[in-house]
Amino acid sequence: MPRNLTRLLLVPAALAAVAVGSSGCGTTTADLARGRVLFIQKCGVCHTLAQAGTTAQVGPNLDDAFAAARSAGEGGATFEGLVKAQVQFPRPSNGDPNISMPRNVVTGQDLDDVAAYVGRYAGVPGAAPPKVPGGPGAQVFANNGCGGCHTLAAAKSGGTTGPDFNKVLPGKSATFIRGYIENPIAPVAKGYPTGVMPKDFASIIKPNELEELVEYLIASTSKGGSSAGSKKSKGG
């Protein structure tokens, strides 16, 4: 096993070996697209991963951590096993929640999907978020995994954890939408609990990208249901 991966995990080598040996169990049913959304939501607040568009530096940069091993021929199931081992058995808490990874941040099928996603893209040279039509705001929506929780016709997303944007955003002002993204305390619609949507998008999303996202959401949910960027993309 490459030494840099062992240092990344900071768990006993035997534990990592067990995880590697069982890592193939979930690969055939893993959903990489779902794994990307879950990674952004659950892991991207601490880790940098180019394909996910995340740049946090609380935990290890996963591209840097896996790059040497990938160039040496490692990858796939080995990486999946290492990710699962780190999620299930992270290094002991050092008393500082800001730099201590919680145990089992994802479990079950969610863990399979995240591990498969990281195994596929971590350390891949030139990896970047997938390009989507609809202009810069649509790209921000996609990069930050918004479609994993919300339905938005313009983005062809069908998430159900959060409100359907096609129903709750028409007529809402830019100030309202921006405020909810930055500080999602009050529920935006009945039937959806508070505390589910990440509260750190204001620090994760750059100010200009936040403006692009707000403009995209307004245009996409206004009468006609498509943004100017979407119309432009359809025309060429």
Each residue's pLDDT tens digit, 153-209: 999 888 887 889 999 999 999 999 999 898 877 666 777 777 777 777 888 889 999
CATH 3.40.190.10 holds for 136-234: no
**Residue 125: is its pLDDT beyond 70?**
yes
* Exposed/middle/buried for residue 207 (C-beta within 10 Å: 0-12, 13-18, 19+): exposed
Reading the block at residue 62, the tokens are 């996963």
What is the predicted pLDDT for the residue at 62? 94
**Residue 226: is its pLDDT beyond 90?**
no
Same fold: 3-121 with 136-234: yes
How far, in whole angstroms, is CA 22 from its chain's centroid?
24
Predicted confidence band of residue 127 (pLDDT cuts 50, 70, 90): very high
Phi, then psi, of 36 in degrees rounded to 5: -65, -45
Predicted confidence band of residue 13 (pLDDT cuts 50, 70, 90): very low
Average pLDDT over residues 89-95: 68
CATH topology of domain 3-121: Cytochrome Bc1 Complex; Chain D, domain 2 (1.10.760)
What is the predicted pLDDT for the residue at 159? 80
For residue 140, give the nearest of 175, 171, 181, 173 by alpha carbon: 181
In the chain, what are the domain boundaries? Answer: 3-121, 136-234
More confident residue, 225 or 119: 119
Average pLDDT over residues 216-235: 62
pLDDT tens-place string over residues 23-40: 444 445 899 988 988 888
What is the predicted pLDDT for the residue at 106? 92
Q: How far apart are CA 183 and CA 201, in angstroms?
A: 8
What is the predicted pLDDT for the residue at 37? 82
What is the predicted pLDDT for the residue at 24? 42
**Residue 137: is its pLDDT beyond 80?**
yes
Q: pTM value?
A: 0.64
